[in-house]
A and B are shown apart, each in its own frame.
Chain A
Amino acid sequence: MYFTLIYVFVDIPISCAVTFKFGYSTVAINYVVEPQQKKQEIPKPQNVSDIFDKFPVVQGKSSPVKVLNRLTIIASDASHFVSCNFDLVAVYPKTEKLFHAACMTFDVDIICIAVAEKQPFHFKRAPVNGAIDRGVFFETCYAAAIRDTTMRRYTIANAISLMEVCKGKNIIVSSGAERPLELRGPYDIANLGLLFSLSEGDAKAAVSTNCRSVLLHGETRATASGVVYTMKKPKTPQKQEEESPISKKAKTELA
Protein backbone atom coordinates (compact mmCIF):
# COMPACT_ATOMS: atom_id res chain seq x y z
CA MET A 1 0.00 0.00 0.00
CA TYR A 2 1.90 2.97 -1.21
CA PHE A 3 0.92 6.57 -1.00
CA THR A 4 2.35 9.56 -2.65
CA LEU A 5 1.62 13.18 -2.09
CA ILE A 6 2.36 14.68 -5.41
CA TYR A 7 2.50 18.21 -6.66
CA VAL A 8 1.12 18.49 -10.11
CA PHE A 9 0.30 21.61 -11.99
CA VAL A 10 -0.15 20.44 -15.53
CA ASP A 11 -1.08 17.17 -17.14
CA ILE A 12 -2.92 16.02 -14.06
CA PRO A 13 -4.64 12.97 -15.63
CA ILE A 14 -1.43 11.75 -17.27
CA SER A 15 0.68 12.20 -14.17
CA CYS A 16 -1.93 10.44 -12.08
CA ALA A 17 -2.11 7.62 -14.61
CA VAL A 18 1.64 7.15 -14.30
CA THR A 19 1.43 7.16 -10.51
CA PHE A 20 -1.28 4.54 -10.50
CA LYS A 21 0.71 2.41 -12.87
CA PHE A 22 3.44 2.32 -10.25
CA GLY A 23 1.01 0.95 -7.69
CA TYR A 24 0.34 4.01 -5.60
CA SER A 25 -3.10 4.02 -4.10
CA THR A 26 -3.52 7.66 -3.13
CA VAL A 27 -2.50 10.86 -4.81
CA ALA A 28 -2.82 14.39 -3.50
CA ILE A 29 -2.90 17.32 -5.87
CA ASN A 30 -1.12 20.29 -4.44
CA TYR A 31 -2.10 23.95 -4.59
CA VAL A 32 0.58 26.36 -3.46
CA VAL A 33 -0.37 29.66 -1.87
CA GLU A 34 2.09 32.39 -1.03
CA PRO A 35 0.23 35.04 0.89
CA GLN A 36 1.44 38.55 0.13
CA GLN A 37 -1.15 40.49 2.09
CA LYS A 38 -2.89 39.52 5.27
CA LYS A 39 -6.28 38.51 3.94
CA GLN A 40 -5.50 36.88 0.63
CA GLU A 41 -8.09 34.47 -0.66
CA ILE A 42 -7.32 30.83 -0.78
CA PRO A 43 -7.98 29.33 -4.21
CA LYS A 44 -10.76 26.79 -4.32
CA PRO A 45 -9.62 23.34 -5.24
CA GLN A 46 -10.82 21.79 -8.45
CA ASN A 47 -13.35 19.14 -7.70
CA VAL A 48 -11.68 15.77 -8.08
CA SER A 49 -14.52 14.25 -10.03
CA ASP A 50 -14.05 16.93 -12.68
CA ILE A 51 -10.61 15.59 -13.51
CA PHE A 52 -11.45 11.92 -13.61
CA ASP A 53 -14.60 10.44 -15.04
CA LYS A 54 -13.91 7.09 -13.55
CA PHE A 55 -11.23 6.36 -11.01
CA PRO A 56 -8.77 3.68 -12.07
CA VAL A 57 -8.41 0.67 -9.85
CA VAL A 58 -5.41 0.23 -7.58
CA GLN A 59 -2.95 -2.19 -9.10
CA GLY A 60 -3.24 -5.51 -7.33
CA LYS A 61 -6.45 -4.73 -5.46
CA SER A 62 -10.01 -4.03 -6.42
CA SER A 63 -10.60 -0.75 -4.62
CA PRO A 64 -10.51 2.50 -6.56
CA VAL A 65 -7.76 5.01 -6.05
CA LYS A 66 -8.17 8.09 -3.94
CA VAL A 67 -7.34 11.54 -5.23
CA LEU A 68 -7.17 14.30 -2.68
CA ASN A 69 -6.61 18.02 -2.67
CA ARG A 70 -3.85 19.55 -0.67
CA LEU A 71 -2.88 23.10 0.15
CA THR A 72 0.64 24.33 0.78
CA ILE A 73 1.10 27.69 2.42
CA ILE A 74 4.48 29.35 2.05
CA ALA A 75 4.59 31.20 5.31
CA SER A 76 6.75 34.22 5.78
CA ASP A 77 4.49 35.98 8.21
CA ALA A 78 2.73 34.85 11.33
CA SER A 79 -0.80 34.83 10.00
CA HIS A 80 -2.97 31.80 10.27
CA PHE A 81 -5.36 30.42 7.67
CA VAL A 82 -8.29 28.14 8.20
CA SER A 83 -9.11 26.02 5.18
CA CYS A 84 -11.95 23.57 5.03
CA ASN A 85 -12.04 22.73 1.34
CA PHE A 86 -8.78 20.87 1.32
CA ASP A 87 -8.16 17.37 2.58
CA LEU A 88 -4.60 18.08 3.63
CA VAL A 89 -2.89 21.27 4.72
CA ALA A 90 0.85 21.82 4.59
CA VAL A 91 2.97 24.75 5.60
CA TYR A 92 6.41 25.75 4.40
CA PRO A 93 8.02 27.88 7.09
CA LYS A 94 10.76 30.24 6.03
CA THR A 95 12.00 31.48 9.37
CA GLU A 96 12.87 29.82 12.65
CA LYS A 97 10.03 31.48 14.56
CA LEU A 98 7.50 30.26 12.03
CA PHE A 99 8.97 26.78 12.14
CA HIS A 100 8.62 26.75 15.90
CA ALA A 101 5.06 28.07 15.70
CA ALA A 102 4.14 25.61 12.96
CA CYS A 103 5.45 22.68 14.95
CA MET A 104 3.71 23.64 18.16
CA THR A 105 0.54 25.51 17.41
CA PHE A 106 -0.52 25.66 13.76
CA ASP A 107 -3.36 23.44 12.66
CA VAL A 108 -1.53 21.69 9.85
CA ASP A 109 -0.76 18.13 8.84
CA ILE A 110 2.56 18.53 7.09
CA ILE A 111 5.58 20.76 7.47
CA CYS A 112 7.66 21.05 4.31
CA ILE A 113 11.42 21.12 4.35
CA ALA A 114 13.31 23.35 1.94
CA VAL A 115 14.75 21.56 -1.05
CA ALA A 116 15.79 24.34 -3.40
CA GLU A 117 18.01 26.29 -1.05
CA LYS A 118 20.22 25.96 1.96
CA GLN A 119 18.14 25.75 5.10
CA PRO A 120 18.13 29.26 6.59
CA PHE A 121 17.84 27.98 10.14
CA HIS A 122 18.91 24.95 12.11
CA PHE A 123 16.40 22.41 13.34
CA LYS A 124 16.14 22.42 17.09
CA ARG A 125 15.12 19.36 19.00
CA ALA A 126 12.35 21.04 21.05
CA PRO A 127 9.95 22.05 18.27
CA VAL A 128 10.65 18.90 16.28
CA ASN A 129 9.79 16.67 19.22
CA GLY A 130 6.73 18.79 19.91
CA ALA A 131 5.58 18.26 16.35
CA ILE A 132 6.15 14.50 16.58
CA ASP A 133 4.03 14.37 19.74
CA ARG A 134 1.23 16.28 18.05
CA GLY A 135 1.30 14.00 15.03
CA VAL A 136 2.57 16.50 12.48
CA PHE A 137 4.79 15.13 9.73
CA PHE A 138 7.86 16.49 8.00
CA GLU A 139 8.05 16.23 4.28
CA THR A 140 10.90 16.08 1.79
CA CYS A 141 10.41 16.30 -1.95
CA TYR A 142 12.61 14.40 -4.32
CA ALA A 143 11.79 15.89 -7.73
CA ALA A 144 14.20 18.78 -7.31
CA ALA A 145 16.97 16.24 -6.74
CA ILE A 146 16.14 14.65 -10.06
CA ARG A 147 16.09 17.91 -11.96
CA ASP A 148 19.35 19.53 -10.94
CA THR A 149 22.67 18.57 -9.29
CA THR A 150 22.91 21.59 -6.99
CA MET A 151 19.34 20.97 -5.81
CA ARG A 152 20.35 17.40 -5.13
CA ARG A 153 23.01 18.61 -2.72
CA TYR A 154 20.60 20.89 -0.89
CA THR A 155 17.90 18.24 -0.70
CA ILE A 156 20.21 15.61 0.72
CA ALA A 157 21.87 18.06 3.11
CA ASN A 158 18.58 19.38 4.49
CA ALA A 159 17.09 15.93 4.73
CA ILE A 160 20.08 14.54 6.62
CA SER A 161 20.10 17.42 9.09
CA LEU A 162 16.41 16.81 9.73
CA MET A 163 16.94 13.09 10.23
CA GLU A 164 19.63 13.77 12.80
CA VAL A 165 17.14 15.69 14.91
CA CYS A 166 14.02 13.64 14.50
CA LYS A 167 15.70 10.21 14.31
CA GLY A 168 13.69 9.16 11.30
CA LYS A 169 10.25 9.47 12.88
CA ASN A 170 7.30 11.20 11.24
CA ILE A 171 8.92 11.57 7.84
CA ILE A 172 7.20 11.39 4.53
CA VAL A 173 8.84 11.57 1.15
CA SER A 174 6.77 13.02 -1.63
CA SER A 175 7.40 13.96 -5.18
CA GLY A 176 7.39 17.60 -6.10
CA ALA A 177 6.86 16.61 -9.68
CA GLU A 178 5.86 19.14 -12.27
CA ARG A 179 5.93 16.69 -15.14
CA PRO A 180 5.04 13.01 -15.35
CA LEU A 181 8.68 12.18 -16.13
CA GLU A 182 9.82 13.22 -12.68
CA LEU A 183 7.87 10.56 -10.85
CA ARG A 184 9.49 7.46 -9.42
CA GLY A 185 8.22 4.16 -8.11
CA PRO A 186 7.81 3.41 -4.39
CA TYR A 187 10.78 1.05 -4.16
CA ASP A 188 13.02 3.67 -5.73
CA ILE A 189 11.90 6.30 -3.26
CA ALA A 190 12.39 3.96 -0.34
CA ASN A 191 15.92 3.51 -1.62
CA LEU A 192 16.38 7.27 -1.82
CA GLY A 193 15.43 7.31 1.83
CA LEU A 194 18.64 5.41 2.48
CA LEU A 195 20.54 8.29 0.91
CA PHE A 196 18.81 10.54 3.42
CA SER A 197 20.28 8.31 6.16
CA LEU A 198 16.96 6.70 7.05
CA SER A 199 16.98 3.09 8.15
CA GLU A 200 15.40 0.60 5.78
CA GLY A 201 12.22 0.20 7.84
CA ASP A 202 11.89 3.97 8.23
CA ALA A 203 12.39 4.53 4.53
CA LYS A 204 9.61 2.10 3.65
CA ALA A 205 7.37 3.61 6.31
CA ALA A 206 8.01 7.06 4.85
CA VAL A 207 6.28 5.94 1.69
CA SER A 208 3.49 3.85 3.12
CA THR A 209 2.42 3.93 6.75
CA ASN A 210 3.44 7.51 7.56
CA CYS A 211 1.53 8.79 4.56
CA ARG A 212 -1.54 6.93 5.70
CA SER A 213 -1.16 8.58 9.11
CA VAL A 214 -1.06 11.97 7.42
CA LEU A 215 -4.31 11.23 5.63
CA LEU A 216 -5.97 10.21 8.87
CA HIS A 217 -4.63 13.33 10.55
CA GLY A 218 -6.13 15.41 7.77
CA GLU A 219 -9.48 13.72 8.25
CA THR A 220 -9.49 14.19 11.98
CA ARG A 221 -8.73 17.88 11.62
CA ALA A 222 -12.37 18.33 10.79
CA THR A 223 -13.49 16.48 13.89
CA ALA A 224 -13.23 17.24 17.57
CA SER A 225 -10.01 15.52 18.64
CA GLY A 226 -10.86 12.62 16.39
CA VAL A 227 -13.74 11.53 18.58
CA VAL A 228 -16.79 13.40 17.32
CA TYR A 229 -17.56 13.59 13.64
CA THR A 230 -20.42 15.71 12.37
CA MET A 231 -22.14 14.98 9.12
CA LYS A 232 -24.95 16.84 7.46
CA LYS A 233 -28.02 14.68 7.30
CA PRO A 234 -30.58 15.53 4.65
CA LYS A 235 -33.81 16.48 6.46
CA THR A 236 -37.31 16.56 5.04
CA PRO A 237 -39.14 19.87 5.71
CA GLN A 238 -41.91 18.19 7.76
CA LYS A 239 -39.47 16.77 10.23
CA GLN A 240 -37.85 20.12 10.78
CA GLU A 241 -41.05 21.59 12.22
CA GLU A 242 -41.46 18.70 14.57
CA GLU A 243 -37.90 18.90 15.79
CA SER A 244 -37.90 22.47 17.04
CA PRO A 245 -40.28 21.97 19.98
CA ILE A 246 -38.23 18.94 21.05
CA SER A 247 -35.05 20.96 21.14
CA LYS A 248 -36.77 23.65 23.16
CA LYS A 249 -37.82 21.01 25.59
CA ALA A 250 -34.24 19.83 25.95
CA LYS A 251 -33.06 23.32 26.84
CA THR A 252 -35.63 23.77 29.59
CA GLU A 253 -34.81 20.38 31.02
CA LEU A 254 -31.15 21.24 31.25
CA ALA A 255 -31.94 24.58 32.83
Chain B
Amino acid sequence: MVRFKSRYLLCEVCVPDRSSLQLLEDRTIYNTLRAAVNRAHGDYGSALFNIGVIVKYLNAHTGVVLIRSRKKHYRLIWSALSFITCLENRGQKVQCFLNCLHVGGTIRTCQKFLVKYNRQQLHRMLPDCKTDAEKQEVRRAILSCSLSNVREEEADEDGSDDDGDEET
Protein backbone atom coordinates (compact mmCIF):
# COMPACT_ATOMS: atom_id res chain seq x y z
CA MET B 1 0.00 0.00 0.00
CA VAL B 2 1.60 3.27 -1.02
CA ARG B 3 1.34 5.81 1.73
CA PHE B 4 2.24 9.44 1.79
CA LYS B 5 4.95 9.60 4.44
CA SER B 6 6.12 12.72 6.20
CA ARG B 7 8.36 13.69 9.07
CA TYR B 8 7.39 16.02 11.87
CA LEU B 9 10.18 18.06 13.46
CA LEU B 10 9.38 19.05 17.00
CA CYS B 11 11.40 22.17 17.83
CA GLU B 12 11.63 24.61 20.66
CA VAL B 13 12.30 28.30 20.22
CA CYS B 14 14.83 29.45 22.81
CA VAL B 15 14.98 33.14 23.63
CA PRO B 16 16.90 34.94 26.36
CA ASP B 17 13.74 36.60 27.72
CA ARG B 18 10.43 34.81 27.58
CA SER B 19 8.24 37.87 27.12
CA SER B 20 9.28 38.25 23.49
CA LEU B 21 7.88 34.78 22.82
CA GLN B 22 4.28 35.95 23.18
CA LEU B 23 4.20 37.63 19.77
CA LEU B 24 5.19 34.53 17.85
CA GLU B 25 3.10 33.47 14.87
CA ASP B 26 3.36 30.51 12.51
CA ARG B 27 3.82 32.81 9.56
CA THR B 28 6.94 34.25 11.20
CA ILE B 29 8.49 30.84 11.67
CA TYR B 30 7.54 29.82 8.14
CA ASN B 31 9.11 32.89 6.56
CA THR B 32 12.25 32.72 8.65
CA LEU B 33 12.66 29.05 7.87
CA ARG B 34 12.16 29.67 4.18
CA ALA B 35 14.81 32.39 4.20
CA ALA B 36 17.24 30.14 6.07
CA VAL B 37 16.73 27.24 3.67
CA ASN B 38 17.22 29.59 0.74
CA ARG B 39 20.46 30.91 2.19
CA ALA B 40 21.81 27.49 3.07
CA HIS B 41 20.68 25.38 0.13
CA GLY B 42 19.79 27.86 -2.60
CA ASP B 43 17.14 27.33 -5.22
CA TYR B 44 17.01 23.57 -4.67
CA GLY B 45 16.28 24.10 -1.02
CA SER B 46 13.59 26.70 -1.75
CA ALA B 47 11.88 24.34 -4.16
CA LEU B 48 11.83 21.51 -1.63
CA PHE B 49 10.53 23.90 0.99
CA ASN B 50 7.67 25.01 -1.21
CA ILE B 51 6.33 21.55 -1.87
CA GLY B 52 6.29 19.93 1.50
CA VAL B 53 6.90 22.19 4.47
CA ILE B 54 4.22 23.63 6.69
CA VAL B 55 4.15 24.77 10.31
CA LYS B 56 1.53 22.56 11.91
CA TYR B 57 1.49 23.73 15.50
CA LEU B 58 2.87 26.58 17.51
CA ASN B 59 2.62 27.27 21.20
CA ALA B 60 3.54 30.87 21.94
CA HIS B 61 3.74 30.26 25.71
CA THR B 62 6.33 27.49 25.69
CA GLY B 63 7.83 28.17 22.29
CA VAL B 64 7.16 24.71 20.85
CA VAL B 65 6.86 24.45 17.08
CA LEU B 66 5.85 21.44 15.00
CA ILE B 67 7.09 21.55 11.42
CA ARG B 68 6.03 19.04 8.84
CA SER B 69 8.07 18.11 5.80
CA ARG B 70 8.41 15.27 3.31
CA LYS B 71 10.28 12.19 4.45
CA LYS B 72 12.87 12.40 1.70
CA HIS B 73 13.93 15.96 2.37
CA TYR B 74 13.51 16.51 6.09
CA ARG B 75 17.25 16.34 6.74
CA LEU B 76 17.89 19.22 4.37
CA ILE B 77 15.28 21.39 6.08
CA TRP B 78 16.57 20.31 9.49
CA SER B 79 20.13 21.28 8.65
CA ALA B 80 19.00 24.80 7.77
CA LEU B 81 17.18 25.10 11.11
CA SER B 82 20.43 25.32 13.03
CA PHE B 83 21.48 28.43 11.14
CA ILE B 84 18.54 30.54 12.24
CA THR B 85 19.75 33.30 14.52
CA CYS B 86 16.78 35.64 14.77
CA LEU B 87 13.09 35.76 14.09
CA GLU B 88 11.58 38.81 12.47
CA ASN B 89 8.07 39.59 13.58
CA ARG B 90 6.43 42.78 12.25
CA GLY B 91 9.69 44.69 12.13
CA GLN B 92 10.90 43.46 15.52
CA LYS B 93 13.94 41.27 15.47
CA VAL B 94 14.02 38.67 18.22
CA GLN B 95 17.34 36.94 18.88
CA CYS B 96 16.69 33.25 19.27
CA PHE B 97 17.61 29.81 18.12
CA LEU B 98 15.61 26.71 17.31
CA ASN B 99 16.44 23.56 19.16
CA CYS B 100 15.12 20.35 17.65
CA LEU B 101 13.69 18.05 20.31
CA HIS B 102 12.26 15.14 18.37
CA VAL B 103 11.63 13.83 14.88
CA GLY B 104 8.47 11.81 14.51
CA GLY B 105 6.56 10.12 11.74
CA THR B 106 3.14 11.21 12.93
CA ILE B 107 1.68 14.02 14.97
CA ARG B 108 0.63 11.57 17.64
CA THR B 109 4.19 10.36 18.34
CA CYS B 110 5.36 13.94 18.57
CA GLN B 111 2.53 14.67 21.00
CA LYS B 112 3.52 11.70 23.17
CA PHE B 113 7.10 12.90 23.24
CA LEU B 114 5.98 16.43 24.05
CA VAL B 115 3.99 15.24 27.06
CA LYS B 116 7.03 13.34 28.37
CA TYR B 117 9.31 16.30 27.70
CA ASN B 118 7.01 18.77 29.42
CA ARG B 119 6.81 16.50 32.42
CA GLN B 120 10.62 16.40 32.58
CA GLN B 121 10.80 20.18 32.32
CA LEU B 122 8.29 20.56 35.15
CA HIS B 123 10.41 18.23 37.25
CA ARG B 124 13.41 20.44 36.57
CA MET B 125 11.44 23.51 37.51
CA LEU B 126 10.36 22.09 40.86
CA PRO B 127 13.59 22.84 42.80
CA ASP B 128 13.62 26.36 41.39
CA CYS B 129 10.19 27.22 42.80
CA LYS B 130 10.28 29.75 45.57
CA THR B 131 6.97 29.46 47.35
CA ASP B 132 4.87 26.49 48.39
CA ALA B 133 1.91 27.53 46.27
CA GLU B 134 4.06 27.40 43.14
CA LYS B 135 5.36 23.98 44.13
CA GLN B 136 1.81 22.74 44.50
CA GLU B 137 0.97 24.10 41.06
CA VAL B 138 3.91 22.36 39.48
CA ARG B 139 3.18 19.07 41.23
CA ARG B 140 -0.44 19.20 40.12
CA ALA B 141 0.70 19.89 36.57
CA ILE B 142 3.07 16.92 36.64
CA LEU B 143 0.34 14.59 37.84
CA SER B 144 -2.09 15.72 35.22
CA CYS B 145 0.27 14.97 32.34
CA SER B 146 -1.29 12.61 29.90
CA LEU B 147 -2.11 12.52 26.22
CA SER B 148 -5.80 13.25 26.65
CA ASN B 149 -5.05 16.15 28.98
CA VAL B 150 -2.53 17.78 26.69
CA ARG B 151 -4.38 21.11 26.50
CA GLU B 152 -4.99 21.25 30.25
CA GLU B 153 -1.39 20.48 31.03
CA GLU B 154 -0.12 23.20 28.74
CA ALA B 155 -2.33 25.72 30.49
CA ASP B 156 -0.91 24.61 33.86
CA GLU B 157 2.64 24.93 32.60
CA ASP B 158 1.85 28.42 31.44
CA GLY B 159 0.93 29.36 35.02
CA SER B 160 4.13 28.01 36.54
CA ASP B 161 6.32 28.96 33.60
CA ASP B 162 6.92 32.49 34.79
CA ASP B 163 8.63 31.29 37.94
CA GLY B 164 11.37 28.89 36.98
CA ASP B 165 13.11 30.85 34.29
CA GLU B 166 16.68 29.92 35.09
CA GLU B 167 17.11 27.28 32.44
CA THR B 168 16.83 29.66 29.49
A→B interface (CB under 8 Å): 17-18, 21-22, 59-60, 142, 145-147, 149, 152, 180-185, 187-189, 191-192, 194-195
Q: Binary interface profile of B, 115-130, with partner A (CB < 8 Å = 1, else 0)? A: 0000010001000000
Question: Once the chains bind, are B96 and A181 in contact (CB under 8 Å)?
Answer: yes
Question: Once the chains bind, are B83 and A152 in contact (CB under 8 Å)?
Answer: yes
Question: Once the chains bind, are B167 and A194 in contact (CB under 8 Å)?
Answer: no
Interface status of B31 (Cβ within 8 A of chain A):
no
Question: Once the chains bind, are B167 and A181 in contact (CB under 8 Å)?
Answer: no
Complex interface: stretch among B62-70, B73-81, B145-153:
B73-81
Which B residues lie within 8 Å of A22 (CB)? 99
Cα separation A142 to B78 with both chains bound (whole Å)? 15
Which A residues lie within 8 Å of B97 (CB)? 181-184
Question: Once the chains bind, are B79 and A145 in contact (CB under 8 Å)?
Answer: no
Question: Once the chains bind, are B166 and A60 in contact (CB under 8 Å)?
Answer: no
- Partner of A185 from B39, B100, B166, B168 at Cβ < 8 Å: B100
Interface status of B14 (Cβ within 8 A of chain A):
yes
Cα separation A187 to B101 with both chains bound (whole Å)? 8
Question: Once the chains bind, are A194 and B79 in contact (CB under 8 Å)?
Answer: yes
**5 tightest Cβ-Cβ pairs between the two chains A and B:** A188-B82, A185-B99, A21-B167, A184-B82, A191-B78
Main SS class of interface, B: mixed
Which B residues lie within 8 Å of A18 (CB)? 14, 167-168
Question: Once the chains bind, are B166 and A17 in contact (CB under 8 Å)?
Answer: yes
Question: Once the chains bind, are A59 and B124 in contact (CB under 8 Å)?
Answer: yes
Q: List 17 A-B contacts (CB under 8 A).
A: A18-B167, A18-B168, A21-B167, A59-B124, A60-B120, A142-B82, A146-B85, A149-B39, A152-B40, A181-B85, A181-B95, A183-B97, A184-B82, A185-B101, A188-B82, A188-B99, A191-B82
Per the CB 8 Å criterion, the residue count for chain B at the interface is 23
Which B residues lie within 8 Å of A194 (CB)? 75, 79
Interface status of B42 (Cβ within 8 A of chain A):
no
Cα separation A189 to B99 with both chains bound (whole Å)? 10
Chain B residue nearest to A60 in the complex (CB)? B120
B105 nearest CB across to chain A (Å):
16
A147 nearest CB across to chain B (Å):
8
Chain A residue nearest to B14 in the complex (CB)? A18
- Partner of A17 from B81, B99, B167 at Cβ < 8 Å: B167
Interface status of B52 (Cβ within 8 A of chain A):
no
Which A residues lie within 8 Å of B95 (CB)? 181
Question: Once the chains bind, are A192 and B166 in contact (CB under 8 Å)?
Answer: no
Cα separation A225 to B101 with both chains bound (whole Å)? 40
Which A residues lie within 8 Å of B79 (CB)? 191-192, 194-195
Chain B residue nearest to A22 in the complex (CB)? B99
Interface status of B16 (Cβ within 8 A of chain A):
yes
Question: Once the chains bind, are B82 and A192 in contact (CB under 8 Å)?
Answer: yes
B165 nearest CB across to chain A (Å):
11
Which A residues lie within 8 Å of B166 (CB)? 17
B148 nearest CB across to chain A (Å):
25
Interface centre among A145, A182, A188, A192 (most CB of B within 10 A): A188
B2 nearest CB across to chain A (Å):
26
Which A residues lie within 8 Å of B101 (CB)? 185, 187
